[in-house]
C-alpha cells in the first residue's frame, strides 16, 4: 500500500501519442483512448506485460492493432488494466463509460454546476481512462470533444484548437492538439456555457499570444484583475528568468467546485473561482493579492513543472517549491517586498512549523506515501520555497540565474529530480551542495540559538550559533544542516556599522568574531529570514524594543515586535496559571506607541508589525498548549494595548481613511490595512463609542476590505451585534457565493460562546453544502483550524462535531476530508483531558469500516 522512493522503476513502455475522444451525453460520457506505444528495450523484454493504472469504471471495448479483444484477453479491475503480452510496437484503443455527475471526489472528469471539467494531478487521470498515470511518462496528446451545442457551446482542452464543426442532433465537436509532450496529470478538458474575457500579449521574441479567461456568464466582469495579473506575470518571467510563453493561446477557466487553489494544465489552467473573480465591492485586498499570486504561480509552472516535469511524485517540491519561490519573488516585485516576506514567513511559522513537529512531519522530498494527495503540504510547497531561497542566497542573484538558465537548457522536455536541480546549481557555482541537500531529505525544523559575548579588552563581539534538530519518525538522529545566515551590525543610533554579509553554519556550533566594535552594538541576524529555522537569542525585551524600532531590516523589525508580543503573552500565561494578576509591561506599551507614531514607517509594514500573533501561532511556543490561557492572555494584551493607546489608535485610524474605496494601489491597500488594524484594537474593548465606530464603518464601507474588517470585529462583540451584522451582510450578498463563503467563515471564527451551535446550525443553511470544498473550508475548516477556544472546548463537543463532519465528507470527497483531519494532528500537545478526547475521535475514525486511503493515512499516522 505504501509507495516508496527507493522502489522507483521506469515504465517499461514508451507512449508515442495519445488521442482522446470524449463523447459527452446527458447522463454519461464515453471516453475512447487511442494509444501508440512501444516497448522500451532498456526495461522490457518479450515477457513484459503492459500494466496501466485504472479507476473504478467499466470498459466497453478494447482493440489492439486490428484485433478486438474479448474480456478474457485483457484483465481489468478497479485499479489496473493489464495485457499479458504485447508486440514491440502497437496501437491500443480502449473505450469506457464515465459518470461525471456522480463524481463528488472532484478528481478525474466531474461536473461543477453546468460545467464539465477535469482535475488530474496527482493521480486523477486514471479515473478518466486506463493509462500509465505517472509524471515520467510523457507524450503528445490530441483531444476531440463532442457535445450538445446548447448545453456545452464551449469545448476546451490543452494546446491549440485545430478543428471544430457541427454535427447532427444539435451536437458539435472540437479537436485540440498539444504539440508539447506532457505527463497525463497536465491533461485538461472543459465543456460548458461560458463567457470569455479576451486579451493579448506579445512575447519578447514577437509571439502574439491570445489570452482567454472563462467564467460563468454572470461573473465575467469580475475577471479583469486576473487578466492584469496574467500579463504582469508573463512580462515578469521574461525579464527575471528569460522565460517566454510557448503556445499561441493561454486559457484560464474559473470553477466553483475545486479541491485546491488552481491547476497548471498545459495551456488550460483550471482555477478555483476564488482565485480569479474579484472587484473591490466583493473581494478584499488580500483576495486581490491572492489572485495575483496564484495566477502567476500557475503561469510560472509552464516552465517549472510543465516543460520540465517530475521523474516521480517524491520530487513534487522540484516544481512546487521552485514555483512558489518564483511567485513570491513576483509578488515582492509587484508590491512591497518586506511586507510580502513577512506574510510568507508568518504563514510558514503558523502552519509549516507545526506540521513539521507533528505526525505528518516529512522531508521536503518525502520517502513514502500512501496517497500522494496528502503530500501537497506546507512542507513541500512553503518550506520547499525556502530551500530554493537559501540556494539563491548562497549563490547570489547572478549565479542563481545562470543555474536556472542551465536547468532550462539541460532538462527541457524531460522528467527530472531534485538532484538534477541542485546539480546545475553546483555546476555554475563550483560549490559542493551535498550537505545542503539534507534540506530535502531530513525532516524537522532546526532550532538555532544565538548568544553574544563581548570582550571589553579587545573590543570584539563574538556571536555563537548552535543548531539542533529533534529526532522524529523519519530520522532518529539528525545531521547538522548547511544554514546560511545574513548578519549585519547596528549601533545605538540605528546606523549600519558593518555591512550585511552572508555567513554559513555547517556544524553544530559556529562562532563568528567581529573586531573593533563598541559594546553597544546590536547584531541583526537571519536578516530577511535567511533560513527556515526556529531562532532563540539572548536579546532582552529592551534589546527587542530597540530592534523593533531601529533594525535596518524590516523583517527583523517585525520579528522583534512579534518576539516581544510572544514573550509578553508567555508571561501572562504564567500569571494565569499561577493565579497572579495579569499586567502588561510598560516597555511593551511604549514600544508599541512609538511604532504607531512613527510617521516615516510604511503603513502596510506597520499593520503587520503591530498585529498580535494569532493564537494558532502562539501555541507553537508552548510545549503543552493551554488553549484557554493563551486565549485569555492574548485578549488581555490586546485590550490593554487598546485602552492605553486609544487616542493614538483613533488618530491613526483617521489619518488612514482618505483612500477612494475602489483604489487598489499599494498605498491605498496599505492605508486600509493599518486603519483596519487600529479598528480591530479599538473594537476589542467593550466600549459604546468604539462599537459605534465599527458599526459606522460596517454600514458605510465602500469596499469589501473595509466592510469585512468591520464585520469580523462585530462578530466577536455580542450575540445581538453579531446577529444583526450577519443578517445585514447576508441580505446584501446572498446572491454572491464567494462573499457568502466569507459570511460562513466569520461566523465559524467568532469568539462568542454559542459559536459551536451556530456552526452546527449553519451546516443546514440553504447556502451551505458539504459537496463544495469552498463552503467546507469557509465553515468547517475555519472552525476547526482557526477557532481554537471553540474547537478545543473542554467538553469535547468541538472535536465530536468536526470528526463527524470529516467522516461525512470522506464518503464524498476523500482529498478534502483528509486535509480537514489535520486539525487533530497535534493532539499529543494538549492537556490530558483534551488529549484523551481528541484521541477518542481519531480512534473512532480509525475504526470505520470504509475509510478512504487518504483519510486512513492521516488518521493512522496521527495514532502511531
Residues recognised as catalytic: 298
CA–CA dist 157, 18 (Å, integer)? 13
Q: Are the beta carbons of 393 and 483 closer than 8 angstroms?
A: no
CB 626, CB 831: distance < 8 Å: yes
Cβ atoms within 10 Å, residue 654: 11
Query: What is the nearest approach in angstroms of ligand ARG to the Cβ of residue 782?
Result: 19
Nearer to ligand ARG, 264 or 426 (CB): 264
For ligand ARG, the closer of residues 373 and 617 by Cβ is 373
502-534 burial, b for 16+ CB within 10 Å, e for fewer? eeebeeeebebebeebeeebbbbbbbbbbbbbe
**With respect to ligand ARG, which residue has the nearer C-beta, 372 or 739?**
372
DSSP structure string for 34-61: EEEEEE-TTT--TTPPEEEE--S-EEEE
| Residue 356 contact partner, candidates ligand ARG, Zn ion, none, CB within 5 to 8 A by sort of partner | none
Closest alpha carbon to 512 in 451, 458, 436: 451
Burial of 386 (0-12, 13-18, 19+ CB in 10 A): buried
Number of residues that bind ligand ARG (CB under 6 A): 11
Q: Does residue 289 bind ligand ARG (CB under 6 A)?
A: no
Q: DSSP states of 643-706 as a string? A: HHTHHHHHHHHHHT--S-TT--SHHHHHHHHHHHHHHHHHTTS--HHHHHHHHHHHHH-SSHHH
Q: Which does 121 bind (CB under 5 to 8 A by kind): ligand ARG, Zn ion, none?
A: ligand ARG
Contact status: 270 vs ligand ARG (CB under 6 A): no
Q: How far is the CB of 301 from Zn ion (least distance, A)?
A: 6
* Interface with ligand ARG, residue 257, by CB under 6 A: no
Shortest Cβ 174–Zn ion spacing (Å): 27
> At its nearest, how many Å lie between ligand ARG and the CB of residue 780?
18
Residue 365 CB partners (closer than 8 Å, separation 6+): 5, 314, 315, 316, 317, 418, 440, 441
Q: Read off φ and ψ for residue 140, nearest 5 degrees.
A: -75, 140
Q: Which stretches does DSSP call E strand in 283-347? A: 309-310
In our burial notation (b when 16+ CB lie closer than 10 A, e otherwise), range 75-93 reads ebeeeebebeebeeebbbb
Contact 619, 791 (CB under 8 A): no
Distance CA 403, CA 414 (A): 17
User: Which range binds ligand ARG by CB under 6 A, 257-265, 384-392, 569-577, 827-835?
Assistant: 257-265
Q: 320 or 620: whose CB is closer to Zn ion?
A: 320
Choosing from 133, 216, 320, 355, the residue that interacts with ligand ARG (CB under 6 A) is: 320
- Is 226 a binding residue for ligand ARG by CB under 6 A? The answer is no
Q: Collapsing DSSP states into helix, strand and coil, what is residue 507?
A: coil
Beginning with the edge strand found earlier in the chain, give each strand of the sheet holding 249-255 in spatial order.
195-202, 208-215, 249-255, 268-272, 262-263
Question: Is 133 among the residues that bind ligand ARG (CB under 6 A)?
Answer: no
Q: Is 122 in the site for ligand ARG (CB under 6 A)?
A: yes
Q: Which is nearer to ligand ARG, 241 or 376 (CB)?
A: 376
Closest distance to ligand ARG from the beta carbon of 107 (Å) = 7
Phi, psi torsion values for 37, nearest 5 degrees: -135, 160
Q: Are strands 483-490 and 522-524 parallel, antiparallel or unpaired?
A: antiparallel
Identify whether the C-beta of residue 712 lies closer than 8 Å to the C-beta of residue 705: no
Q: Within positions 315 to 374, which residues make up the interface with Zn ion, using CB under 5 A?
A: 320, 323
**Quick one: what does residue 707 bind among Zn ion, ligand ARG, none, with the CB cut-off 5 to 8 Å set by partner type?**
none
Question: Which burial class, exposed, middle or buried, applies to 535 when counting CB atoms under 10 A from its CB (0-12, 13-18, 19+)?
Answer: middle
Partner interacting with residue 742 (select from Zn ion, ligand ARG, none; CB below 5-8 Å by kind): none
User: CB of 188: closest distance to ligand ARG in angstroms?
Assistant: 12
Smaller CB separation from ligand ARG, 293 or 446: 293
Pick the stretch among 190-198, 259-267, 558-566, 672-680 that binds ligand ARG (CB under 6 A). Answer: 259-267
Q: Which does 777 bind (CB under 5 to 8 A by kind): Zn ion, ligand ARG, none?
A: none
Specify the stretch interacting with ligand ARG by CB under 6 A; choose among 108-116, 197-205, 258-266, 803-811.
Answer: 258-266
Site string for Zn ion, 686-725 (x = CB under 5 A): ----------------------------------------
Q: Give min distance, CB of 847 to ligand ARG, in A.
A: 26
- The stretch among 51-59, 256-264, 458-466, 547-555 that binds ligand ARG (CB under 6 A) is 256-264
The one of Zn ion, ligand ARG, none whose footprint includes residue 260, by CB under 5 to 8 A per kind, is ligand ARG
Give the x-and-dash track for 373-392 against ligand ARG (CB under 6 A): x--x----------------
Q: Does 620 bind ligand ARG (CB under 6 A)?
A: no
Q: Which of residues 53-72 bind ligand ARG (CB under 6 A)?
A: none
How far does CA 550 lie from the centroid of its chain?
32
Q: What, of ligand ARG, Zn ion, none, does residue 122 touch, CB below 5 to 8 Å by kind?
A: ligand ARG
Rounded CA Rg of the chain: 28
Give the C-alpha separation, 148 to 754, whole Å.
50
Q: Does position 234 bind ligand ARG by CB under 6 A?
A: no
3-state SS of 683-701? CCCCCHHHHHHHHHHHHHC
Among 216, 285, 298, 356, binds ligand ARG (CB under 6 A): 298
Task: Write out the residues near Zn ion by the rule CB under 5 A.
Answer: 320, 323
Residues of the shown chain interacting with ligand ARG in the complex, contacts defined by CB under 6 A: 121-122, 260, 262-264, 297-298, 320, 373, 376
Amino acid at each position: 500500500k505504501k509507495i516508496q522512493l527507493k522502489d522507483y522503476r521506469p515504465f517499461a513502455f514508451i507512449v508515442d501519442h495519445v488521442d482522446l475522444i470524449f463523447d459527452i451525453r446527458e447522463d454519461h460520457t464515453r471516453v475512447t483512448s487511442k494509444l501508440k506505444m512501444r516497448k522500451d528495450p532498456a526495461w522490457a523484454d518479450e515477457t513484459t506485460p503492459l500494466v496501466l493504472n485504472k479507476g473504478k469504471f467499466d470498459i466497453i471495448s478494447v482493440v489492439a492493432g486490428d484485433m478486438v479483444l474479448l474480456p478474457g484477453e485483457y484483465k481489468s479491475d478497479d485499479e489496473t488494466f493489464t495485457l499479458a503480452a504485447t508486440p514491440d510496437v502497437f496501437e491500443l484503443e480502449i473505450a469506457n463509460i464515465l459518470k461525471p455527475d456522480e463524481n463528488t471526489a472532484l478528481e478525474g472528469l466531474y461536473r461543477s454546476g453546468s460545467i464539465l471539467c477535469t482535475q488530474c494531478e496527482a493521480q486523477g487521470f486514471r479515473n478518466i481512462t486506463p493509462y500509465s498515470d505517472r509524471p515520467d511518462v510523457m507524450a503528445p496528446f490530441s483531444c476531440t470533444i463532442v457535445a450538445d451545442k446548447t448545453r456545452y457551446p464551449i469545448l476546451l482542452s490543452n494546446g491549440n484548437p485545430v478543428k471544430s464543426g457541427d454535427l447532427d442532433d444539435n451536437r458539435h465537436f472540437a479537436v485540440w492538439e498539444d504539440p508539447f509532450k506532457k505527463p497525463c496529470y497536465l491533461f485538461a478538458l472543459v465543456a460548458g456555457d461560458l463567457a470569455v474575457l479576451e486579451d493579448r500579449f506579445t512575447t519578447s521574441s514577437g509571439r502574439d499570444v491570445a489570452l482567454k479567461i472563462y467564467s460563468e456568464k454572470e461573473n465575467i466582469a469580475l475577471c479583469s484583475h486576473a487578466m492584469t495579473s496574467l500579463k504582469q506575470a508573463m512580462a515578469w518571467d521574461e525579464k527575471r528568468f528569460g522565460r517566454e510563453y510557448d503556445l499561441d493561446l493561454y486559457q484560464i477557466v474559473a470553477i466553483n467546485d475545486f479541491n485546491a487553489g488552481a491547476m497548471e494544465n498545459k495551456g488550460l489552467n483550471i482555477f478555483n473561482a476564488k482565485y480569479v473573480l474579484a472587484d473591490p465591492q466583493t473581494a478584499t485586498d488580500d483576495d486581490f493579492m491572492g489572485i495575483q499570486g496564484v495566477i502567476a504561480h500557475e503561469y510560472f509552472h509552464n516552465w517549472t513543472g510543465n516543460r520540465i516535469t517530475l521523474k516521480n511524485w517524491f520530487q513534487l517540491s522540484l516544481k512546487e517549491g521552485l514555483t512558489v519561490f518564483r511567485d513570491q519573488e513576483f509578488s515582492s516585485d509587484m508590491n512591497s517586498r518586506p511586507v510580502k516576506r513577512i506574510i510568507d514567513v508568518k504563514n510558514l511559522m503558523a502552519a509549516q512549523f507545526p506540521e513539521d513537529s507533528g505526525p505528518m512531519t516529512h522531508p521536503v522530498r518525502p520517502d513514502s506515501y500512501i496517497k500522494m494527495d496528502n503530500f501537497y503540504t506546507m512542507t513541500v510547497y512553503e518550506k520547499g520555497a525556502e530551500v530554493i531561497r537559501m540556494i539563491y542566497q548562497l549563490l547570489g542573484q547572478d549565479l542563481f540565474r545562470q543555474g536556472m538558465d542551465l536547468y532550462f537548457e539541460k532538462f527541457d522536455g524531460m522528467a527530472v529530480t531534485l538532484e538534477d536541480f541542485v546539480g546545475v546549481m553546483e555546476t555554475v557555482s563550483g560549490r559542493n551542495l551535498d550537505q545542503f541537500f539534507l534540506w530535502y531529505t531530513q525532516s524537522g525544523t532546526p532550532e538555532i540559538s544565538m548568544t553574544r559575548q563581548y570582550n571589553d579588552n579587545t573590543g570584539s563581539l563574538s556571536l555563537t550559533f548552535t543548531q539542533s534538530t529533534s529526532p522524529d519518525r523519519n530520522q532518529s538522529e539528525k545531521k547538522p544542516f548547511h544554514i546560511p545566515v545574513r548578519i549585519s551590525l547596528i549601533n545605538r543610533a540605528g546606523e549600519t556599522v558593518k555591512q550585511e554579509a552572508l555567513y554559513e553554519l555547517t556544524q553544530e556550533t559556529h562562532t563568528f568574531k567581529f573586531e573593533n566594535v563598541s559594546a553597544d552594538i546590536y547584531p541583526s541576524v537571519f536578516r530577511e529570514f535567511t533560513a527556515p529555522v526556529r531562532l532563540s537569542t539572548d536579546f532582552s525585551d529592551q534589546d527587542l524594543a530597540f530592534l523593533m524600532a531601529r533594525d535596518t531590516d524590516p523583517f527583523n523589525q517585525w520579528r522583534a515586535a512579534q518576539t516581544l508580543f510572544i514573550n509578553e503573552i508567555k508571561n501572562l500565561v504564567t500569571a494565569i496559571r499561577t493565579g497572579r494578576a495579569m499586567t502588561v509591561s510598560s516597555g511593551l506599551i511604549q514600544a508599541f506607541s512609538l511604532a504607531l507614531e512613527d510617521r516615516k514607517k510604511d503603513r502596510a509594514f506597520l499593520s503587520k508589525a503591530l498585529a498580535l500573533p494569532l493564537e494558532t501561532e502562539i501555541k507553537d511556543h508552548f510545549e503543552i498548549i493551554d488553549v484557554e490561557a493563551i486565549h485569555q492572555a492574548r485578549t488581555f494584551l490586546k485590550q490593554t494595548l487598546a485602552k492605553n493607546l486609544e487616542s493614538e489608535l483613533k488618530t491613526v485610524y483617521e489619518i488612514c481613511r482618505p483612500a477612494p474605496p475602489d483604489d487598489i494601489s499599494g498605498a491605498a491597500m496599505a492605508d486600509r490595512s493599518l486603519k483596519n488594524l487600529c479598528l480591530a484594537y479599538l473594537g476589542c474593548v467593550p466600549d459604546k463609542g468604539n462599537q459605534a465606530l465599527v458599526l459606522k464603518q460596517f454600514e458605510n464601507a465602500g469596499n469589501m476590505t473595509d466592510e469585512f474588517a468591520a464585520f469580523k470585529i462585530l462578530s466577536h462583540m455580542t450575540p445581538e451585534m453579531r446577529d444583526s451584522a450577519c443578517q445585514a451582510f447576508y441580505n446584501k450578498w446572498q446572491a454572491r457565493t464567494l462573499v457568502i463563503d466569507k459570511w460562513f467563515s466569520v461566523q465559524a471564527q467568532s469568539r462568542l460562546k454559542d459559536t459551536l451551535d451556530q456552526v452546527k446550525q449553519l451546516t443546514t443553511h440553504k447556502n451551505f453544502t458539504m459537496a463544495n470544498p469552498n463552503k467546507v473550508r469557509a465553515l468547517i475548516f475555519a472552525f476547526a483550524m482557526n477557532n481554537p477556544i471553540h474547537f478545543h472546548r473542554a467538553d469535547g463537543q468541538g472535536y465530536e462535531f468536526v470528526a463527524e463532519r470529516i467522516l461525512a465528507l470522506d464518503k464524498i470527497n476523500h482529498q478534502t476530508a483528509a486535509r480537514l483531519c489535520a486539525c487533530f494532528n497535534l493532539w499529543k500537545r494538549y492537556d490530558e483531558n483534551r488529549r484523551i478526547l481528541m484521541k477518542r475521535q481519531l480512534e473512532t475514525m480509525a475504526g470505520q469500516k470504509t475509510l478512504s486511503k487518504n483519510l486512513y493515512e492521516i488518521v493512522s499516522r496521527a495514532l502511531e
